[in-house]
């Protein structure tokens, strides 16, 4: 049975410390994840309301909508959810590849945010350049770009494993909010963080729906600016992504030929 290397043990300890620290809303990483949660509301408002009843971030909803569409219910699409699912899976796979090639959370964080920002900028550029319609090639292209970016982000956030801050789904967050509440005999721990996550996505969806009354491009531009702003702030944020745990003091170094006490000769 293979055992983990000292470096792997150190990285695991660092990640555990990070998760503990990110439980506080004052932690920079927590604030970044809440901002990304807000942007999820924007993205899904753009895709669901502006591109024909399809989600770019909420894949659970897409699976359900795909089933409805296959059954021919409510005139729901089939192709668009498949495009979104395909883009999301490719993005998640890309994020996993980034994580496996670089064990440093800092680099993975920057790369994942960079890809997400690029996808949002690309989607916004299409929306500005052409009239994007759901069910058309232009609409499917925007959906694919958005879903790919969300997949990359989800892969990284999954690796982080910060409780209640998945940035794209709230089912377990809401479950924890109720199950751990003092009303039902729980400790109430994490209530503020969970409420903040729910509120961020709700506010993002509300903002996206209101901006969509002006144009789809505006929603995507705002989402891209938020992602880009988070990326630019990474130089400050990433310093929190590798908290160093205390190391055990190193043992005495072996004596070299030049460091041996007088009277001892090397042979």
Domain spans of the chain?
A: 28-240
- The closest of 59, 62, 132, 67 to 92, measured between CA atoms, is 59
> What is the per-residue pLDDT for 163?
85
pTM: 0.83
> What is the per-residue pLDDT for 238?
55
What does the pLDDT look like over 81-97, one tens digit per residue? 999 999 999 999 999 99
The pair phi, psi for residue 187, each rounded to 5°, is -85, -20
Are 85 and 61 spatial neighbours (Cβ–Cβ below 8 Å)?
no
> What is the per-residue pLDDT for 236?
61
> What is the per-residue pLDDT for 241?
56
- Positions of the chain with pLDDT lower than 70, given as ranges: 1-15, 18, 102-103, 234-267
Question: Is CATH 3.40.50 the classification given to domain 28-240?
Answer: no
User: What does the angle CA 48 – CA 54 – CA 59 come to, to the nearest 5 degrees?
Assistant: 115
Side-chain-side CA neighbours of residue 153 (13 Å):
32
């Amino acid at each position: 049975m293979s055992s983990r290397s000292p470096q792997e043990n150190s990285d695991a300890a660092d990640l555990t410390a990070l998760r503990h620290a990110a439980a506080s809303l004052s932690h920079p990483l927590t604030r970044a994840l809440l901002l990304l949660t807000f942007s999820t509301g924007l993205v899904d408002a753009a895709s669901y309301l502006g591109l024909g009843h399809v989600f770019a971030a909420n894949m659970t909803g897409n699976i359900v909508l795909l089933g409805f569409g296959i059954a021919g219910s409510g005139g729901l699409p089939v192709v668009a959810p498949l495009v979104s699912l395909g883009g999301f899976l490719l993005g998640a796979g890309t994020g996993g590849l980034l994580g496996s090639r670089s064990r440093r959370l800092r680099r993975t964080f920057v790369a994942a945010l960079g890809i997400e920002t690029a996808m949002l900028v690309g989607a916004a550029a299409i929306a500005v350049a052409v009239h994007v319609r759901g069910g058309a090639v232009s609409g499917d292209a925007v959906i694919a770009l958005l879903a790919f970016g969300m997949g990359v982000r989800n892969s990284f956030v999954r690796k982080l494993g910060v409780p209640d801050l998945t940035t794209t789904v709230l089912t377990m967050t809401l479950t924890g909010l109720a199950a751990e509440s003092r009303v039902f005999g729980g400790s109430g721990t994490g209530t503020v963080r969970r409420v903040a996550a729910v509120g961020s996505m709700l506010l993002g969806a509300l903002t996206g729906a209101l901006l969509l009354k002006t144009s789809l491009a505006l929603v995507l531009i705002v989402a891209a600016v938020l992602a880009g702003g988070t990326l630019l702030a990474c130089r400050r944020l990433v310093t929190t992504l590798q908290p160093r745990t205390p190391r055990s003091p190193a043992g005495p170094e072996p004596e070299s030929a030049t460091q041996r006490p007088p009277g001892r000769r090397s042979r």
